[in-house]
Amino acid sequence: MNNHLQDTATLNNGIKMPWLGLGVFKVEEGLELVQAVKSAVKHGYRSIDTAAIYENEKSVGQGIHEAIVENDIKREDLFVTSKVWNADLGYESTLAAYETSLNKLGLDYLDLYLIHWPVKGKYKEAWRALETLYKAGRVKAIGVSNFHIDHLEDLMKDAEVKPAVNQVEFHPRLTQQPLRDFCREQGIQFEAWSPLMQGQLLDNPVLQELAAKYGKSVAQIILRWDLQHGVITIPKSTKENRIIENADLFDFELTKEDVTQIDQLNQNLRVGPDPDNFDF
């Protein structure tokens, strides 16, 4: 596992998902994003993660279509994720949101569709919609994002299909050990958003020391740590050199001691909203 950029994790329904993908949070529609997607695919990435609320699905879709032609690959070679936004959570509205995302992306199906946030009283109806899409073969896998243990337990009480993925904030300052253990026990693949803590860890002395030791960047040390924890990761960048650097993770391995040292940086510190307490 994790020895090559195109290595995959096998989800609980047998679908294979690349360990590393390109995130596009806060990247606006436009040529820069189209280029970023094309660069990523050109340099071997096979997974792209977007969301309705990012308001950039059109450019992501354009990048995907151009990349398929330029790299002589098939749509099936790529793994595309999007997410339903809070305002659209509900049975009919989630089904409609899925069609809207597909239309913007210009795709016939998604590989993974996630509920973006656990809005109380709404996510179960949305999950029923995701199950409908999944059973109809319209999406390869369904999952959630920003769900705590209690949200997952609540969802699974009535769910017919278990979530395949839980995408949450995860980095050395927020290691989410209880949630990771729970997901592992349940066969739910853990995925990191904001793996680099939006750049806030790049001058951390412990990580800088490890970077020097391995001859790697701090970002590469963190992303390798993700992979060695069995966590799928989707670092965001629009710069080609950074896209290449973020994927250069497969020629070294952190020792067990070094992994533990990074684990100990945990402070349960978030850069994003708390899933137990958000109002959007």
The token duo for 119 is 């809005």
Has 134 been annotated as catalytic?
A: no
Contact criterion met (CB below 8 Å) for 68 and 37:
no
The whole-angstrom separation of Cα 84 and Cα 257 is 39
270-279: string of b/e by CB count within 10 Å (b at 16+)? eeeeebeeee
Neighbour-count burial of 16, counting CB atoms closer than 10 A to its CB (0-12 exposed, 13-18 middle, 19+ buried): middle
CB atoms within 10 A of CB 123: 24
The whole-angstrom separation of Cα 92 and Cα 129 is 7
The token duo for 200 is 């806030």
Report which of 84, 101, 195, 198 is spatially closest to residue 145, judged by C-alpha positions: 84
The one-letter amino acid code at 7 reads D
Which of 54, 98, 113, 123 is catalytic? The answer is 54
The whole-angstrom separation of Cα 257 and Cα 107 is 44
Q: Which residues are catalytic?
A: 54
